[in-house]
A and B are shown apart, each in its own frame.
Chain A
């Protein structure tokens, strides 16, 4: 027995199992997210169940669980959750059914899933198609053609609303501000008149566009579908409200994959619908990535410069050691504290002053004096800069002092030595620091909630309108999106898969950003192969 302890094997087992436990937890988390996150977009078959008491239900199978003991009449009983949709008819999207109550289940070939812009999915059978008052021959192809047509008009409507009308709104608003500026500065009646005239011409243009919109809308309204529910009731829905219609029970693997990919495409590249529980999350992806870039842009150079001073120039003594300890502690301060600081310092302090000096005509509406992507990024930069300083310092100290002396002995100045020898040597280590900064920054939510993240941002922080980057705008963020959809949504049950998919995406983005940094680092390592990094 004594010999067994002496061999050191138990310690290997101890360390090995600790590692295995860590891996298991990580793998478990990723597997859970993958399992729930990837299946959401798959168009599963529509089940139509007839219960023993004669009631009927139709929808897609969502979940199956054992009935808790307290409610159980027998053992080994299960209940299934069916997404029956038709929220406007039934009042809720889901229905729990005890398996023991089911008389029969079948998969009707003609059952259709209508994904609607509002009110969620609709399940039923097509009864009739109308174009105005004319009833069309009841075929699937006609519906698809109508869907294509209405979708095109819908895009046109969106375009007019977003671009043309948005543009007019901006012009009118800027004129209003100009007018106010003149009024504030004493006021010249002629100038104000000119502005009023110009403003009126914009309003006229707006009326025209509104007419155009009304025409497009009424052109779309003529298409309607009569849908028969499983209970026999018939409801009419407007074709223009339908995003997508498909008959999963008739689709093979290929067809289903097609729908799957289409829905993933919508998820990645579209804007959210239905208070974020449906549609896409493109604005959140964009906001997250842009925020991380802005943050790195602020945190990385400052961190490296500060580390350079601490390591290369400062006289190593009590003061520098104290600063080092302070920096390390700063990295451990709860992030919400940084959020509070950002709100007080950046938003109200700096932002408020900017508003007073440069945007006084817009007051009391704040321009920079409210949360925005710039302030959120700077707050996060503040939070991550200690991480950058610590890792950059470590990377710099790993460069042998002989190499510095070698450069100086060749007649290089200190600056030349740092730029040409020390920094290239420390670069792989500095990149590791950047990876840490990105990972920390992309996953942080709390400080963002009070410095500029919103549930739904009407426009992206980058667009085609001068000056293209609108850093004062509020933005959406995947981390906050997860919180919002998961806990603040009116329809939590329906939104749950969205939480998983968004989590998966956030993890994917962090992974992708890290992967880029790791690839760069490995290329550098190869160039300096044999170095002691």
Chain B
């Protein structure tokens, strides 16, 4: 606890880089679970068409912040939010903002793969069907394109009508990525997508992310420092609900500004 107090006391203003073309802007964000505050004065910007990694020890609020960006925290009754989150210069917590269209614009991949109890095909076209798209040719095209993008096409093209629950863990997770990109979002949020997978499956997903960043903005929460350094362009370090430091990844891992960040990225604590 002494360490925590130290961090809070010494760090008054987060160190953040200048970002030219932010797609997501978070300003002055405070979040409470009932009486407990989980996020403190978060100010950050997410650059477009880049991979931004959120790192930090468990319980530091990375996932909570991620879920603020598609308003998935709305599902929890006790959550209260202050501050502004802007996507494409629209305040997503503003009055009258359409949550449904936000979530179509901001896709999400979860920690544990969560395919629906449907066929592979129906999983992929789910987002389109609920938006009212039912033309077969259109759906077929989207299925192939998104599976190609998620590097899953070759493995499942012959059994698109089989249950998605019959796939392996890694395949299920790539299916969830394909499902997210099938609706063509501009931002994809990933909440520790590889934490339940073996190294080979993890490698595949990292390759997929590498490909995806040409078209999409990716925000990824990870516990794995190597992964963050391998795949991300920017890294943000969180601690006890505060953003401590954000920088280009190469900078962050070779020359962090703060002692605390250095300790964490080199594995001395956390």
Contacts and interface: CB of A to CB of B under 8 A. Distances in A.
Contacts of A413: 100, 130
Interface string A383-403: 000000000000000001011
Interface string A311-351: 00001000000000000000000000000000000000000
Contacts of A528: 117-118, 163, 165
A409 B108 CA distance: 6
Interface stretch (A17-25, A146-154, A417-425): A417-425
A137 to B, nearest CB: 74
Contacts of A411: 100-101, 103-104, 127, 130-131, 183
B160 to A, nearest CB: 14
B112 A402 contact: yes
Contacts of A408: 72, 75, 103
Contact of B103 (A402, A410, A424): A410
Contacts of B75: 405, 408
Contacts of B72: 405, 408-409
A403 B179 CA distance: 13
B117 A406 contact: no
Contacts of A530: 163, 165-166
Contacts of B108: 406, 409
Contacts of B103: 408-411
B180 interface: yes
Interface in B72-131: 72, 75, 77, 100-101, 103-104, 107-108, 110, 112, 114-118, 126-127, 129-131
Contacts of A421: 116-117
A474 B183 CA distance: 58
A403 B104 CA distance: 16
A410 B107 contact: yes
A416 interface: yes
Contacts of B114: 400, 402-403, 405-406
B240 interface: no
Interface in B27-58: none
Given A421-B116, A421-B117, A424-B118, A410 B163 contact: no
Interface centre among B126, B127, B179 (most CB of A within 10 A): B126
Contacts of B183: 410-411
A399 to B, nearest CB: 8
B130 A412 contact: yes
A410 B126 contact: yes
Nearest to A413: B100
Interface string A149-178: 000000000000000000000000000000
Nearest to A530: B165
Nearest to A524: B117
Contacts of B77: 315
A90 to B, nearest CB: 69
Contacts of B151: none
B110 to A, nearest CB: 6
Nearest to A414: B75
B76 to A, nearest CB: 11
Contacts of B101: 411
A246 to B, nearest CB: 58
B177 to A, nearest CB: 12
Among B75, B108, B130, B163, find the residue whose CB has the most chain A CB atoms closer than 10 A. B130
Q: Most chain-A Cβ atoms within 10 A of its Cβ — which of B72, B117, B127?
A: B117
A420 B126 contact: yes
Nearest to A317: B77
Nearest to B100: A411
A527 interface: yes
A218 interface: no
A425 B117 contact: yes
B126 A424 contact: no
B117 A424 contact: yes
Nearest to A416: B130
Contacts of B166: 529-530
B70 interface: yes
A422 to B, nearest CB: 10
Contacts of B117: 403, 421, 424-425, 528, 531
Given A413-B100, A529-B166, A530-B165, 6 more contacts: A403-B115, A405-B110, A406-B176, A407-B116, A411-B104, A411-B127
Interface of A: 315, 400, 402-403, 405-413, 416, 420-421, 424-425, 527-531
